[in-house]
Amino acid sequence: MPDHPTASWQAMQDGNVFYRRQQLYSVSGKFPDFADYIMAGCRYGGPIAVMRDTTKLVALGRATPAFGKSQIQVYSPAGEGLLMISWDQGKIIRVGWTADESLVVINEEGTYRVYDLQGDYQQYSLGSDAAEMGVIDARIHEDGLVALTGSLTFLEVKGWKGTRPLTLANPGLPEPPHSWAIIPPDLNISRHVEVLLSSEGTIFSVDNLESVDQRLSQGPFTHISPAPNGKTLALLTFSETLLVISTDFQRQITEFDTRTVSAEGQIQQVEWCGNDAILVTWSSVAVLVGPFADTLEYFYSGSLFAVTEPDGVRVMGPDVCDLIQKVPASVLAIFRPGSTAPAAILYDAWQSFTERSPKADESIRNIRPDLAIAVDQCIDAAGQEWEPYWQRSLLNAAKFGRGFLDFYNPTDFINMGQTLKVLNAVRYYEIGIPLTYAQYIYTLPSYIITRLTSRNMHLLALRISNFLGMKPDHVLKHWASAKILRTKPSAVAGSDGELGGDEEVCKLIVDNFKKLGGADVSYAEIAKRAWEVGRTGLATKLLDHESNASDQVPLLLTMKEDRLALEKAVDSGDTDLVYHVLLHLHQQLTLGSFFRLIEDGGSRLAPASKLLQVYAREQNRDMLRDFYYSDDRRVESAVLALDECSRMTDPNSKTTSVKAAQKFFSEDKDRGFEAKMMDEYARLLTFQQQLEKEGDGKISFFGLSINETIRTCLLNGMSKRADKTKADFKVPDKRFWYLKMATLIEIRDFEGLDAFSKSKRSPIGYEPFVHCLIENGHPKEAVPYVARCDSPKRADLYAECNEWRLAAKECKERGDKAKLEALRKKCPDSLMQREIDQIASSMK
Amino acid sequence: MASRDPASSEGTDAPLDTNLLKEIARKALVDSLNSVNGAKTLVLDPSLAGPLGLVTEVALLKHHGVDKMFWLEAGPLTSTTSNIIYLCRPLIKHVKFIAEQIKRHAKDAAKHTYTLLLVPRASTLVTRILEEEGVLGDVSISSYNLQFIPIEEDVVSLEYESVFKDIWVDGDETAIYDSAQALITLQKLYGLFPRVIGKGDKAARLTALLTSSLAQARTSSAPDTLFQSSDKIDALIVLDRRVDMITPLLTQLTYEGLIDELISIKNSHVELPTSLVSPPTAETTGLAAATPSTSSGTLRKENKKKYHLSSSDTLFGELRDLNFSAVGRRLNKVARRLEDDYKASRQAKTIPQLRDVVGKLGGLQSEHQALRLHTGLSELLVPMTRTDHFNKSLEIQQDLLASYNVSEQISAIEDLIAQGAEIELVTRLLCLASITGGGIKAKTLDNIKREILQTYGYHNLPMLLSLASPPLAILLPNPLPASASATTLPKYPYTSLRKSLRLLIDDNPEALDEVENDISFVYSGYAPISIRLVQCVAQRGGVLSNPADRDKAVRQGDNSTIPEGKVQAHAINGWKGFEDVIATIPGETVDVIQQGVGRSSASPPLGRPMENTITTVVFFLGGCTYTEIAALRWVGRQNRGRKFLIATTGIVSASSIIDGIAGIRKTGGSSSKDAGI
């Protein structure tokens, strides 16, 4: 039987609060001596990265792993080596971990790499400015980093996709801060990262808008450490006094003088234990400072390293890896000596029951009203316990209590059982992920799967995901990628063997996916992986299984399958994807082969060709011209020429463009009409230039339409020229008459109008004359034209000219009584009405 | 007709809660704005101002840190804040403006942080151009996914401006892709469309995209709705604009349609003289009405103000779908009622009566104001409908629709050219003649084209070519030249459709005024083909005979049993019964059944009797007209148990289509540098 849970407890604060030191793993000799190294730990039971501290001397010949100056070792909390990275870049200034357990390493040139646990990395840079100034320090949080540059400004990077760094407000520091820390965006009210830095006696808080002096006086501080929830801040002054204040700097919570602790040397770390206690470490002592400055001391046999967890603190020493945390309420209620909580009594009852003692029944009866709560507490306590033995007994106690309840929903019980199975599996030292129940709930089960796959533990990941009823996609995808990496065809096998290998691997992957239900896995991603490791054949084979076109295209492009990429892009209907391919190909290929690719595509690639034209029309006209030319598209070439013509102002080049268009049209036998029109256009332009010369350049003709040309001629008294335009361009009589009539009326040349109307029989009749005159407010002048209209319409037309008498007379002549009556009704004034009446009566 | 009143019959069971879409759009915008910390300057694409105005208001933007707003246009930008957000559609033109401004700032050593929000999504093209201009490193690009905007309770629109031209002239199918994405979003909200029915090549393309995007959308953690057939929607009907080119070319004759034709409505806003829109200060009503000048020239000079046309204006809700000829009477009726109400209020004596009156007064006043506005507006319209050109064009349209003396109509069009009518008018009539008559005699056509070029300028040649070129092909010679005939679509079978779909209704005009017997009321005697096609799917009886007539007969026969008088809508069954007719129309026919998969319980059988009101979504790819909306609303009123949700890429009219093809962009009121929504 393992030790009773209380064996690891220690009381604080007059015995009301207990902290426990749970030994997770025994790691004797597995870690290097932390005193000589720089460490970075990953939260949620993650690995630690260890790097030689070059500022410290190392005794030669000590039995340490012989790693050179620029190597980074990654260990699991159980002390298993996970990864070794050799660093070939500039001096490393900081290492840290992302939310998904990737190791971030940033160097003094502002270059940073994000490594996964297999040692594959992405490299990004903070930009040339940062490289110039140099980076002197950095803080890495789960979703980004903040770098302090040589010119003492801060650069923030959000996420790990290599986004452009943002400059934070400049605090105007005279010298590098004594210490600094960041509060990650998701813990801030503003949802933007906040930098806290100690300068002189005070602390500045800096975000991307402003830098605020928080007006403290106890500084400067050697350590600034925000709590995991970002609400409180632990500060350590040069005089080694620990201050705990709220992050809004309004409240001081605790003050504690660390010199009261009998420890040697300097303070190494100030880390939070959950959100309510602080662990201060020296080289072999760790002191836990509670909220009321009570302390607990923990001794280790050598130097140690602490990693803050949301519900405790993980401490790694030379021999052990411990978790120090506040004893959870449910556990406390059950195991606290002398506890009379219902859960404690239930547990007691169950023990009595196993000992076949009748006390069991009595105990149960005692807590009958609170039995449900007791059961829940037992279940929860099971989750908080580390040893399977105690987990089991607590669950058994819960099960026992449940039997006495009439209605009980067993979901919690079952879930806890499942969860504990998973947790115990991953806590096993070979896996080495000491995740607590609270952390597990907080990080979601899918996180565990990701962490296992990133350690290449696919079988366990798959089993867990099946056990928890999750989709196996992620695991399968990762497995396939890993598989491809591992099964590199051996160089000896020759080409045949290689092909066979591709076939085999592809089949293996596809079969496994089908068998394990990974229908939604993106084959494109896996194919990309294959391509990256140089297995083109395998990549092509895998791509065939991909159903989503937009995923296939980028890979096809990198594989130089241009034609196929373009076809797939067109099929996807996503125009942006088509542009992506087109622009890429335009850069990669010579213009000739680029055009040929599109033209050869025929109707299949027609949409791509259209899109290219849309793009080129706006951005690259020369290319468009070449494209039309190379494809013998005469009409389009002509239209393009015309379009350019419309943008030009210079008469000569305009005429040239029109002539070019004419030539293009004339080369297409179906475009005779258009060619003729362009010919006319060119003639018109020349003629207009001539007209402008005649008008001494005062009248502008150039670019007008034929109608406007005629009109302008008439407006400027060049009626001969107007006639010539009509004759030269074969303007039909009708149109000419309308135009001339309207123009003459516009300039009130009524004599000219009269002469014009009499020049020959009007091809448009005379009604338009009347209407047009009336519309332009000349009813008087319209009257004479009424007489020349058809007789049935005259009466109405006269009426429109306000000539009621004439209208009435007209009716009389025609003997149209009904019309007369209508006129009388419409007539506006009574005088006229009477007159009409008279005429009407005279008709009888 | 009792059911005519929209408030009583539709108020209770609105088709679907489209406001959800508005909320989504608004939240996305707020999130995008908040992603940039601190005060910011917003530079807005003018073409987005209208759509955005339907989603949000300036106050909301200010609330989220927008300090100043500018239009995105050429020229320098001076900003006081360090953050600049550009919000625009991914057009090359826009990106060039932006690059220009950034470069200028760099030269002036002005430090700004640039964020580019692209609507509806980021694009490689933009990245590429920014790269070519050398400013990519300075800009962080993200997207603002603005999709369907509810412009009315039963209408959602993408509010794209040039979809028609993009698809059928340029061959740029971006809009189809975006439409598919927007329809996926609809399905995410309301469940799968159990059946997708469509007509037209591009409609088929959209349907294909819809199915393939659905498969993609499903893989990632998609909501359950994407796996289950919707219980609120029974079908999606997709019509591409090419299927019915006739309808948008005709002059719309409903109140709203006519406003669009004559004054033009943009993003549901119409520009009206200020005196009409703002509340009365003096007797401006009288004055405005007293000057019904024939040309609108004088009106143009008056200050304009934007007015939002929507059914929140109850009176407009009543008027919008009426044939214009009936508007006067309705206004009169409302005026009478209002007068009575006022009178009644004056007679109030006792205190409780007075209290009642005071309570009603506000309502009366706003009603009064609405009445004044719409009376003024119709007075604006009336003179425009009296011009020669307007009437001549109506006459030509009616005759062309009846295929009456086609050659005479064409010479009438020639006369219009000679008289210098607007080129849009001429072009739309010409296209109409070409479509209804299966082309225009080659020689005549060449002649007319020559006339057009001489009258309006030779630069119109590209437009004429676009109208004739294959994907569009709405202005064709007859017979076709040998080389072209192979590639073009088969001719549009207008004359046979006229018979089989009962397009022309011989209503006598008086009867038309009384009751709207058929969707043809929107064009005074012509039933829009597009809506007839919808009827083929969703109201089969309506294609063959007037449901209203039959309904009357039923009522006379047996008055007691059917108090509602409406027939239960039949279940959607594809094109059943009209396969032959549909086959004659050029373009692919689509009929797809979308099955729920996996986790869904058994999908409801398609032919089940419909107890609850169900919605049919009608999507117009390439835009629809106000008349089509009106007609569809009418169809929706005829049956019990089915509502329509109209979805479109935008609202179009003949002039917007033709201007689009000609490449004319009418920019509205962007003269001031300060932007407003």
B530 pLDDT higher than 90 = yes
Range of the domain at A566: 559-618
B201 and B159 inside one domain: yes
Q: Please report which confidence band the pLDDT of residue B204 belongs to, taking 50, 70 and 90 as the band edges.
A: very high
**B540 has a pLDDT exceeding 50:** yes
Same domain, A386 and A332: yes
Nearest-by-Cβ selection for A738 from B113, B208, B419: B419
The reported pLDDT for the residue numbered B260 is: 92
Q: Which of A547, A567, A593 is the last residue of a domain?
A: A547
With a cut of 90, say whether residue B233 has pLDDT above it: no
Last residue of a domain, one of B361, B386, B411: B386
The verdict on residue A703 lying in a domain is no
Judging contacts by C-beta atoms under 8 Å, the chain A residues touching residue B426 are none
B37, A190: Cβ pair inside 8 Å?
Answer: yes
pLDDT, tens digit (0-9, with 9 covering 90-100), for B415-435: 999 888 889 999 999 999 999
> What's the pLDDT tens digit per position in A220-276?
889 999 988 888 889 898 888 888 988 888 888 888 888 888 777 888 889 998 888
CATH classification at residue B188: 3.40.50.1910
pLDDT for B630 equals 92
Task: Point out the domain boundary residue: B145, B179, B206.
Answer: B145
CB interface of B with A, residues 38-57, below 8 Å: 38
- Interchain CB contacts (distance < 8 Å): A and B: 140
Q: What is the mean pLDDT of the segment spanning B163-190?
A: 90
Looking at residue B289, its pLDDT comes to 36
Residue B85 forms part of a structural domain: yes
Model confidence pLDDT, tens digit, residues B622-653: 999 999 999 999 888 888 888 899 999 999 99
Q: What are phi and psi of B441, to 5 degrees?
A: -50, 130
- Show which of residues 193-232 on chain A sit within 8 Å of chain B, judged by CB atoms: 207-209
Q: For residue B82, is it within any domain?
A: yes
Q: Which amino acid is at A163?
A: T
Shortest Cα distance, chain A CAs vs residue B459, angstroms: 7
Q: Are residues B130 and B185 in the same domain?
A: no
* B478 and B404 share one domain: yes
* Closest chain A CA to residue B124: A580
Backbone angles phi, psi at B94, to 5 degrees: -60, -45
| C-beta of residue A587 within 8 angstroms of C-beta of residue A563 | no
- How many domains, in total, are found in chain B? 4
Q: Which residues contact B103 (CB under 8 A, 6 or more apart)?
A: B133, B134, B135
Residue A768 within any structural domain of the chain = no
The verdict on residue A716 lying in a domain is: no
Query: What would the two tokens of residue A181 be?
Result: 């820390």
Domain shared by B361 and B444, yes or no: no
A176 in a structural domain: no
Q: Are residues B259 and B237 in the same domain?
A: no
Same domain, B472 and B382: no
Is the Cβ of A166 closer than 8 Å to some Cβ of chain B? yes
Distance from C-alpha of A142 to C-alpha of A537, rounded to nearest angstrom: 38
- pLDDT tens readout for residues B240-294: 998 999 999 999 999 999 999 998 888 888 888 887 776 654 433 333 333 333 3
Residue that terminates a domain, selected from B351, B386, B421: B386
Residue-wise pLDDT for B296-348, tens only, equals 333 344 577 888 888 888 888 888 888 888 888 888 888 898 888 888 777 77
Determine which of B6-20, B372-386, B475-489 has the lowest per-residue pLDDT on average. B6-20
Identify which of B450, B488, B429 has the alpha carbon closest to the alpha carbon of residue B478. Answer: B488
Same domain, B111 and B165: no
B98: domain CATH number is 3.40.50.2060
pLDDT confidence tier of residue B598, bands split at 50, 70 and 90: low
Q: From the CB of residue A248, how many other CB atoms can be counted at a distance below 10 Å? A: 12
Phi, psi for A253 (deg, rounded to 5): -95, -50
Question: What single-letter amino acid sits at A436?
Answer: T
For residues B616 and B197, the answer to whether their CB atoms sit within 8 Å is: no
For the record, the structure tokens of A711 come out as 């009109």
User: What are the pLDDT digits (tens) for B438-456?
Assistant: 888 988 999 999 999 999 9
Higher model confidence: residue B263 or residue B228?
B263
Sequence-distant (6+) residues with CB within 8 A of B643 are B10, B13, B14, B15, B154, B613, B614, B615, B616, B636
B480 assigned to some structural domain: yes
Distance from CA of B351 to the nearest CA of A (A): 50
Q: What chain B residue is nearest to A603 in terms of C-alpha separation? A: B487
Domain for residue B448, yes or no?
yes
- Does residue A336 fall inside a structural domain? yes
Is residue A265 classed exposed, middle or buried when 0-12, 13-18 and 19+ CB atoms within 10 A define those classes?
exposed
Query: Residue B324 falls within a domain, yes or no?
Result: yes
Does residue B523 lie within any of the structural domains? yes
Smallest Cα–Cα separation from A673: which of A665, A681, A664? A665
Q: Looking at the complex, does the CB of residue A642 fall below 8 Å from at least one CB of chain B?
A: yes
- Assign residue B430 the CATH number of its domain: 1.25.40.850
Count of the separate structural domains present in chain A:
3
In chain A, which residues have their Cβ closer than 8 Å to the Cβ of B661?
A: none
Tell me: pLDDT of B508 over 70.
no
Is the pLDDT reported for residue B11 higher than 70? no
CA angle B442-B447-B450, nearest 5°? 125
Q: Is residue B358 part of a domain?
A: yes
Domain that holds residue B473: 389-485
What's the pLDDT band for B510 if we cut at 50, 70, 90?
low
The residue out of A386, A408, A430 marking a domain boundary is: A408
Sole residue written with tokens 């590639």? B487
One domain for residues B330 and B354: yes
Q: Which residue has the tokens 């880390």?
A: A271
A573 and A528 co-located in one domain? no
What pLDDT score does B203 carry?
93
In one letter, which amino acid is A97?
A: W
Statement to judge: residues A563 and A537 lie in one domain = no
Please, are residues A453 and A478 in contact by the beta-carbon 8 Å criterion? yes
What residue ranges of chain A have pLDDT lower than 50? 63, 66-67, 490-499
Question: Across the interface, which of A209, A674, A742 has its CB nearest the CB of B37?
Answer: A209
Q: Decide: helix, strand or coil at residue A149.
A: strand
Provide the mean pLDDT of chain B.
80
pLDDT at residue B246, as a whole number: 92
8 A C-beta contact, residue A507 and residue A513: no
Contact A614 B170 (CB under 8 A): yes
Q: Are residues B296 and B380 in the same domain?
A: yes
- Pick from B171, B215, B449: which is nearest to A610 by CB? B171
Q: Which of A98, A6, A84 is nearest to A43 (CA)?
A: A98
Chain A interface, mutation test: which of B35, B116, B119, B125, most A Cβ atoms within 10 Å? B125
Inside any domain, residue A18? no
pLDDT of residue B32: 86
Q: In CATH, what number is assigned to the domain containing residue B319?
A: 3.90.830.10
Please state the separation of Cα B308 from the chain's center in Å.
15
User: DSSP string of B277-293?
Assistant: HSPPSSSHHHHHHH---
Q: Which pLDDT value is given to residue B625? A: 93
How distant is the alpha carbon of residue A205 from its chain centre?
28
Residues B376 and B394 in one domain: no
Cβ of A739 and B420 within 8 Å?
yes
Q: Is B659's pLDDT higher than 50?
A: yes
Q: What are phi and psi of B313, to 5 degrees?
A: -85, 100
Which phi and psi angles does A517 have, rounded to 5°?
75, 30
In this prediction, residue A220 carries a pLDDT of 86
**Residue B82, C-beta contacts closer than 8 angstroms, at least 6 positions apart:** B38, B111, B112, B113
What residues of chain A, 707 to 726, have a C-beta less than 8 Å from chain B?
707-708
Establish if A627 belongs to a structural domain: no
The residue among A514, A547, A580 that closes a domain is A547
Asked, for residue A290, whether it belongs to a domain, the answer is no
| B241 located within any domain | yes
- Pairwise CA distance, residues B480 & B476, whole Å: 7
- B271 and B202 in a common domain: no
pLDDT band at B397 (very low <50, low <70, confident <90, very high): very high
Instruction: State the smallest CA–CA distance between residue A700 and chain B in angstroms.
Output: 15
Residue A750 CB neighbours (<10 A)? 15
State whether B110 and B168 are in the same domain.
no
- Which one is predicted more confidently, A456 or B565? A456
